[in-house]
Amino acid sequence: MTDRYCVFGNPIKHSKSPLIHGEFASQTHQAMSYTAELAPVEGFADAWRAFIADGGRGANVTVPFKGDAFALCDTLSHRAKRAQAVNTLIVGGNGRTYGDTTDGIGLVRDLAYHRVPLAGKRVLVIGAGGAVRGVLEPLLAEQPSEVVIVNRTAEKAEQLAQAFADLGNIQGGGLASIDGQFDLVINGTSASLSGELPPLPETLFAKGAWAYDMMYGSEPTVFLQWAGPRGAKLLDGLGMLVEQAAESFFLWRNVRPETASVRTLLRQSLNY
């Protein structure tokens, strides 16, 4: 019998998740299908219940439903509670819904894949939305010397820093509060999708620093285009997408897929 999985989103046609999980299933010989499902903006919970009723075993959740998924879960992982968002749903043996988030693990594993050091390093994170909240716990677990969150609305960044202050040295403020140089700068905003770039200091990057954009595409993002000439080594979010998917796959199937070949396939599919 083939187990059913999917990714819910709105919009969702662009999703690479069916390609990724199809490759994972093939390489690990899992009897499963994985589709992209468009859910109504105001009807996510009904879409999930209908999917379960039709034999669904689990799902990924993307924009704009991670908060909705968090709200409908019967049980949550510790990291999902911290993130206040869910990107992975699992149907338990009793029919109850378990929620987890794998975004932060995906980011940290992608950084490790590219041998980006985190321990003892100074990290700047731009943005204070759900994408950033979801990665802070795993990021702080790598023991950077400091994580600084900056946002156009300083209060949001300050509140986020306070919420995670028990996990490490973390500060929050407005874009104008950026001080000094950083070893890693992560763009966690969606500004790249609209071709926008927040105002950033020209001297942002320390020697040997990395610039990481959680977004990805067929061309380098605006943030990466800006960071390259200023001395940073560049990474986009494609690897994070693959690694968070691999963690979701492991939670569903208890098998850990190999990711390097899927990274290559996905990059080729973008012609980038």
Q: Active-site residues: which are they?
A: 66
Strand, coil or helix: what is 75?
strand
271 is in an annotated binding site: no
Q: Any known ligand binding at 37?
A: no
Beta strands in 116-248 (DSSP E): 122-126, 146-151, 170-174, 182-187, 205-213, 233-235
Contacts of 40 (CB under 8 A, 6+ apart): 10, 46, 47
What is the distance of C-alpha 10 from the center of its chain? 17
Tell me if 216 is assigned to a ligand binding site.
yes
244 is in an annotated binding site: yes
Q: Is 17 annotated as a binding residue?
A: yes
99 annotated as ligand-binding: no
Is 247 annotated in some ligand binding site?
no
133 is in an annotated binding site: no
Is 81 within any annotated ligand binding site?
A: no
Does 214 show up as a binding residue in the annotation?
A: yes
Report how far residue 87's alpha carbon sits from residue 194's, in angstroms, rounded to the nearest whole number.
23
Largest interatomic CA distance in the chain: 57
Distance CA 111, CA 113 (A): 5
Pairing between β-strand 32-38 and β-strand 170-174 as defined by DSSP bridges: unpaired
| Residues of the binding site | 15-17, 62, 87, 103, 127-131, 151-156, 214, 216, 237, 244
| Residues of the binding site for shikimate | 15-17, 62, 87, 103, 216, 244
| Residues of the binding site for NADP(+) | 127-131, 151-156, 214, 237
